[in-house]
Structure 1
Amino acid sequence: MFRETTVSRSIRVNTVLNVFDLVPRSAGQRPEEAMAASLELARRAEDYGYHRLWFGEHHLNPGVMGYSPALVMALAGSVTTRLRVGSGAVLAGARSALSIAEEFSLLQAALPGRIDLGLGRSPVRRPPHGKRPSAGSASAHTPRGRPPTQPLTHAARDRISTEGLLLPAAPDLSHLLASERYAATAELLAPPADSPPYAEFIDQVRSFLDHTAQVSGSPLPDATQDTDGTPQVWVLGSSAGESAEAAGRRGLRFGANYHVAPSNALDAVEHYRSHFVPHEHLERPTVMVSAEVLVADSHTEAERLAHGYDTWVHSIRSGEGAIPYPRPGEAAALTGDQRRLVEDRVRTRFVGTPGEVIEHLRVLQRATSADELLISTITHDPAARLRSYELLAESWDAKAPRT
């Protein structure tokens, strides 16, 4: 049950704005054009004054090319000089702890002081007894003796925080477990049967990075190079569960996923803070919260550019996989049931002029006391996406309220 927080909330002065990029493809856009657009976004994000640029990890999606965060980070880092580049997130289970540590140690050597390692739980779990998953069988895809993972849970009703943040009713997404795409992802990317629990996986990655790893009780020869510093580690989560608790207990930074799972984002942040234990490397809880944003010079233009978002989200939540983002006016209209499947994300997308969007971001910031905001923007025209980030950056310093 939702409990209204009694913690004093305030807008932080100069809260940091960051960019999140899926490396999306638009309808009619060639892969090389989509990649060029993302590299141009990296250059512009640095010029606009954003602090970080993070890339997601998504597989088997026709309209998304960001399936290798480390590789895209290297490309983005090569065309920028100051911008921090990171993963939002590298999925535990899609690769080993050692391979993640090696990749990010290499990035740290190439781009010292600019690397963020955001870790996330994979939604895919190894089926029982090593059996291969098959489409149409939800039980084949669930963890051994456990229910489906947290992102598939749903809230039955809207909630409003004391600051006015909408935490919408969320649909039941358990049907995704039976989709052919989920089955293929589970078969191709599921972790080994003996992979450790997620919290232990985080510890493994960090032990490789700080050269404290052991094998059978004996120190391991340095698995990664002795670079100048280590990547900044974040744990990302969508609910008040394992990820939030693991980040808090280890004194790590935490990222909450409002733009994809808005129903549970505030619960996730408060769960993290309630379990936070100060460490030498981080004395107080540090939170980043994501938001889906689209800014234009006029409200009418923003609404026009926003067209097709519901259809694009539906392609993901139906199990089809993200389609190339449709042109304005060409997206198929959704039926009532289809609309209800995506309503929570549509209602929590901040669309409008800079002033209108910033008002929404203020509420999100007050409700979560976020130290940083991670801004995701998607529309058909790459130039309109750049303009959205430019308008937001130009207006943020002037519009953000002071404590």
Structure 2
Amino acid sequence: MPADFTPALRGTAHGSAPAPLSVLDLLTVGAGRTSSDALRTGVEIARLAERRGFHRYWVAEHHAMPGVASTSPAVILAHMAAHTDRIRLGSGGVMLPNHASLVIAEQFGTLEAMAPGRVDLGLGRAPGTDGATAAALRRTGPGGGDGDDFPQQLDELVRFLDDDFPRGHPYRQVHAVPGPVQGSSPGGVQSPDRPAVWLLGSSGFSAQLAGALGLPFAFAHHFAAHNTVPALDLYRESFRPSAALDKPYALVAASALATDEDEEARRQVLAYALSMIRLRSGRPGLIPTPEEAEAYPYSLAERNFVRSWNSDVIHGTPDEVRAGLDDLQKRTGADELMLTTYAHDDIVRLRSYELIANAYGLPTSA
């Protein structure tokens, strides 16, 4: 496990934040924009996060969503590795049932070779998409590959990363490259690092599994806020020390948007809520403009959804967002807060991270 897997809170490295701050970037695509635009903005966000002292920059695997360009985390992270120097890079996460474990071990071993000591491999068991798309990804046919064997697949992946299948195992002579086998080959030199494995979740299943295995756990508060505290309680109760961690480490991912004026924040998150209405009604699309969201004829049920959804988005002026994040950290005991920002306009997203950094007094580095 890399030595800086958990950030040290020394001096003013994290300003006055109650916990280290990180970024989850879904590379959202607004109406009138392209995935190329989203990727360029992603680089800007990663660089800003590194410059302002955010600890990690993660991307998440999603499929068949026109408004989200993060279908291929390993490819995107390789691009980000070429444009950053210090910030940790990772998946938040890779949906493991969509892939062969060996492929993920090879992809993230390659990323570790590109950015030594900076790579996080966050894993989830959900498909990150609808059932038909999941079947197409997994080549299992409808109803197959539902993630029930996730613990076994996770064990297989970790064994590929560590190259330690037991004698007699059918994969004993199968080696992930880049990986430890290179260090045991004639003339080989062992890399000191390997990707840090995380479990992600929005329910108790992954929380309990992460605790039992002694792994760090990231909870998706941004879309399952009602279950955050119960899941974190279960994680901490289930935790058993491991080679990775001697005590629980919980990251909470939250939606946050800061703007100079409170009314502008309200307009931006309304557009986010409309995109979620469309997604959940089977009509996923690009992130609408605030003007489109304000003109949309909401039904009563949709208005109730907007009210409920936006109550879990921490938004407003920088001071209001800071207060909301401080409260979230206090309620959950999070060891780290990861912020994801949805907005139609890329400039609004960049500005939000800058304003939050300013609100916490995060220093600016070269």
Whole-angstrom CA distance in 2 between matches of 1:217 and 1:342: 52
Whole-angstrom CA distance in 1 between matches of 2:95 and 2:253: 17
Aligned to 1:256, what secondary structure does the other structure show?
strand
Aligned partner of 1:346 among 293, 305, 310: 310
- Tell whether the 8 Å contact from 1:25 to 1:34 is kept in structure 2 after alignment: yes
In structure 2, what is the equivalent of residue 49 of structure 1?
53
Give the letter aligned to residue 197 of structure 1: D
Aligned to 2:298, what secondary structure does the other structure show?
coil
Matched, 1:291 2:254: yes
Whole-angstrom CA distance in 1 between matches of 2:159 and 2:305: 41
- Tell whether the 8 Å contact from 2:99 to 2:138 is kept in structure 1 after alignment: no
Once the two structures are TM-superposed, the CA of residue 354 in structure 1 deviates from its matched residue by 1.2
- Tell whether the 8 Å contact from 1:258 to 1:291 is kept in structure 2 after alignment: yes
Q: Structure 1, residues 230-252: CA drift from partner, whole Å, max 9, x if none?
A: 11111001012x21111101100
Q: Rate the CA distance shift 1:183–1:222 in 2: closer, same or farther, 3 A.
A: closer
How many correspondences in the alignment? 329
In structure 1, what is the equivalent of residue 8 of structure 2?
none
Once the two structures are TM-superposed, the CA of residue 29 in structure 1 deviates from its matched residue by 0.6
Once the two structures are TM-superposed, the CA of residue 397 in structure 1 deviates from its matched residue by 4.1
Matched, 1:326 2:288: yes
Once the two structures are TM-superposed, the CA of residue 213 in structure 1 deviates from its matched residue by 2.4
Aligned to 1:271, what secondary structure does the other structure show?
helix
Q: Structure 1, residues 345-386: CA drift from partner, whole Å, max 9, x if none?
A: 211101111111111111110111111001000111111111
Q: Rate the CA distance shift 1:67–1:20 in 2: closer, same or farther, 3 A.
A: same
Aligned partner of 2:176 among 213, 223, 228: 223
- Tell whether the 8 Å contact from 2:120 to 2:198 is kept in structure 1 after alignment: yes
Name the stretch that deviates more: 323-332 or 363-372: 323-332
Once the two structures are TM-superposed, the CA of residue 279 in structure 1 deviates from its matched residue by 1.3
Aligned to 2:75, what secondary structure does the other structure show?
helix
Whole-angstrom CA distance in 2 between matches of 1:333 and 1:379: 20
Matched, 1:355 2:319: yes
Once the two structures are TM-superposed, the CA of residue 343 in structure 1 deviates from its matched residue by 4.2
Once the two structures are TM-superposed, the CA of residue 228 in structure 1 deviates from its matched residue by 2.9
CA RMSD of aligned residues (A): 2.1
Matched, 1:305 2:268: yes
Q: Rate the CA distance shift 1:187–1:13 in 2: closer, same or farther, 3 A.
A: closer
Whole-angstrom CA distance in 2 between matches of 1:326 and 1:274: 42
Give the letter aligned to residue 206 of structure 1: V
Matched, 1:37 2:37: no
Matched, 1:116 2:116: no
Give the letter aligned to residue 173 of structure 2: L
Aligned partner of 1:273 among 225, 233, 236: 236
Once the two structures are TM-superposed, the CA of residue 209 in structure 1 deviates from its matched residue by 0.6
In structure 1, what is the equivalent of residue 23 of structure 2?
19
In structure 1, what is the equivalent of residue 135 of structure 2?
187
Once the two structures are TM-superposed, the CA of residue 191 in structure 1 deviates from its matched residue by 6.8
Aligned partner of 1:67 among 61, 68, 71: 71
- Tell whether the 8 Å contact from 2:30 to 2:286 is kept in structure 1 after alignment: yes
For normalisation by structure 1, the TM-score amounts to 0.77
Once the two structures are TM-superposed, the CA of residue 329 in structure 1 deviates from its matched residue by 1.3
Once the two structures are TM-superposed, the CA of residue 275 in structure 1 deviates from its matched residue by 0.5
Aligned partner of 1:235 among 196, 199, 207: 199
Once the two structures are TM-superposed, the CA of residue 299 in structure 1 deviates from its matched residue by 1.4
Give the letter aligned to residue 338 of structure 2: L
Matched, 1:263 2:211: no
Aligned to 2:67, what secondary structure does the other structure show?
coil
Whole-angstrom CA distance in 1 between matches of 2:305 and 2:107: 37
Aligned to 1:329, what secondary structure does the other structure show?
helix
For normalisation by structure 2, the TM-score amounts to 0.85
Q: Structure 1, residues 83-121: CA drift from partner, whole Å, max 9, x if none?
A: 111001100211011111111011001110110000001
Aligned to 1:334, what secondary structure does the other structure show?
coil
Once the two structures are TM-superposed, the CA of residue 203 in structure 1 deviates from its matched residue by 1.1
Q: Structure 1, residues 243-279: CA drift from partner, whole Å, max 9, x if none?
A: 1111101100000111011111111111111100011
Unaligned runs of 5+ in 1: 1-11, 125-180, 399-403
Aligned to 1:93, what secondary structure does the other structure show?
helix
Once the two structures are TM-superposed, the CA of residue 13 in structure 1 deviates from its matched residue by 6.8
Unaligned runs of 5+ in 2: 1-15, 181-190
- Tell whether the 8 Å contact from 1:259 to 1:345 is kept in structure 2 after alignment: no
